[in-house]
Structure 1
Amino acid sequence: MSDLKETGFKSGDIFAAVAAAFAGLDDAEKQKQIKKTNGIFQINVETSDKKSQTWVIDLKQDGTVTKGAGKKPDVTVNLGDDTFVALADGKLNAQKAFMTGQLKVKGNIMLATKLDGVLKASKGKL
């Protein structure tokens, strides 16, 4: 999972934790989570010094987390590194971040609302 981490991005640790949480599920639990979410998230994260990195969470086919664009996403989320960390920690409400322009969504907006539940996976709360 260390291949998900990226120097200069705090978000990489969260994506690695989400990947580890999904990898730790048995097949039945993983399929349950995939059925519940049924989507591919592409998350484009930008640091304050304008470096960017993309991660993909596939909860439509195989329950994996990868670094770099690849699969055709159902929803694309663009946000800053600090904003992503605050969302994952539960310190920032996604709706508030969206309304203030800190978070931008392209694609299936209703699927984007499920991202909060997916991020809870990083804390082992699937």
Structure 2
Amino acid sequence: MSDLKVEGFKSSEILAALSEVFQGYSEAEKKTQIKKTNGIFELRVKNAAGEEGVWTIDMKNTGTITKGPASPKPNVTILFSDDTFTSLAQGKLDGQKAFLTGKLKTKGNMMLATKLDSLLKLAKGKAKL
């Protein structure tokens, strides 16, 4: 799904890879992942130029990733830089450490935000990030 990719955002490449992983799931695998995660994430990512990109990971209803604000309302909105997101996805940065050092901010269900880490690990395992 190249419509997820945005020029100047390394994170968009990662989200496109994660989307491909989700699309490769069987219905049973997708239902299991949705049941395990049960939430809608809105990711607000700022790149080096100060531009903001917004993506939604719906792991409550559809098991898909879309570009743009969440609809329906997200369970959690996560705000971070492109570099922080990339480091999280590559396993170079721990989500809790990023939060505690102010590199990652959340609005909404903070406990759900911790599940983003496991979704990113899925992408890292199946798509070489």
TM over 0.5: yes
1:88 deviation in Å?
0.2
Following TM superposition, the consecutive aligned residue runs of length 4 or more in structure 1 with deviations greater than 4 angstroms are none
RMSD, matched Cα: 0.8
- Alignment of 1:35 with 2:35, yes or no, is yes
Equivalences, count: 125
| Residue aligned with 1:110, SS | helix
Deviation digits for residues 29-72 of structure 1 (CA, Å, limit 9, x no counterpart): 00000000000000000012201110000000010000011311
Is the contact between residue 22 and residue 121 of structure 1 (CA under 8 Å) also seen in structure 2? no
Identify the residue that residue 99 of structure 2 maps to in structure 1: 98
Unaligned runs of 5+ in 2: none
Matched-pair contact (CA < 8 Å) for 2:40–2:70: no
Give the distance between the partners of 2:8 and 2:111, measured in 1 at CA.
30
Secondary structure at the counterpart of residue 113 of structure 1: helix
1:83 counterpart = 2:92: no
1:1-126 to structure 2, matched below 5 A, reads 1-71=1-71, 72-125=73-126
CA distance in 2, matches of 1:112, 1:91: 18
Distance (whole Å) between structure 1 residues aligned to residue 3 and residue 56 of structure 2: 13
Name stretches of at least 5 consecutive residues in structure 1 with no aligned partner: none
Aligned-residue identity in percent: 58
In 2, distance between residues paired with 1:48 and 1:97? 18
Q: CA deviation at 1:120?
A: 1.5
